[in-house]
Structure 1
């Protein structure tokens, strides 16, 4: 039976790489916009969705309820997001960006794309496409393991 070598263990490599990329992005978003990674994720998801519940954000981003809730509270307090009752489910609330939130997203999105471009510049477009496809397949396989 092969022994576990952490540096060659793919789930470990994914975690380390994800943390490195997230840390680089976090430094940029914090320095330029005063946003944490969870706050940025909420802004991005809500910008795409228009209106969305915190539960749906958690399911989409795989962030836990407490992280989503704290980020939403911070963004509402900063005037970047509105929170209102959900007419189709009175137990939940809908989040939507305010005009200030939409303006912030419009300022951040090009920076995010530039970070992505710089990160993947050493790779051929075909490699990036294959990598993206593999990440989606890994995600599907991990979801299947959940049951």
Structure 2
């Protein structure tokens, strides 16, 4: 067997055990399961819900701030914001501290939908966490915090 064949085999990527892939698949599965509970009932897409969830927690953010907090593509955020503005679930206004900067907030209708979806999302979170012991939950929380720390991934962003 040629040396390059052996090196190629050792450099092979096994997706089933590749952490970034596993985290992405898990995130997508969890997000999809939550979305399945509210999409038809509230006529809202997953990106729209993510925008609403961020603004429900922290109002008066710019679309760029929302994109940063959700780690969503700016185009996806822009489309979700446009649909939410059109449906009357969001309002755009000027920031109190800088009248040149527009920010987003949930409208009264948006808050009404948000308050109805949050219990569904929290109930699903409890279903997931019920599969773990208290020690496992605490360990998972610590590990997620550690992996989400800026120094855990930022160095890779800078190498691009």
TM-score w.r.t. the length of structure 2 is 0.83
Deviation at 1:14, TM superposition (A): 1.0
Give the paired residue count: 146
CA RMSD of the aligned region, Å?
A: 1.7
Deviation at 1:89, TM superposition (A): 6.3
- 1:75 is the counterpart of 2:84: yes
Match of 1:13 among 4, 22, 26: 22
Consecutive unaligned residues of structure 2, counting only runs of 5 or more, are: 1-9
Match of 2:153 among 125, 142, 147: 142
- 1:99 is the counterpart of 2:105: no
Q: Secondary structure of the equivalent of 1:110? A: helix
Partner residue of 2:33?
24
Trace 1:29-108 onto structure 2 (pairs within 5 A): 29-86=38-95, 88=98, 90=100, 92-108=101-117
- 1:124 is the counterpart of 2:133: yes
Taking the aligned partners of 1:4 and 1:72, their CA distance within structure 2 comes to: 37
Maintained 8 Å contact 1:47/1:97: yes
Deviation at 1:143, TM superposition (A): 2.7
Consecutive unaligned residues of structure 1, counting only runs of 5 or more, are: none
Measured against aligned partners, the alpha-carbon deviations of 1:93-112 in whole angstroms (never above 9, x if no partner) come to 21011111111111111111
Maintained 8 Å contact 1:76/1:82: yes
TM-score w.r.t. the length of structure 1 is 0.89
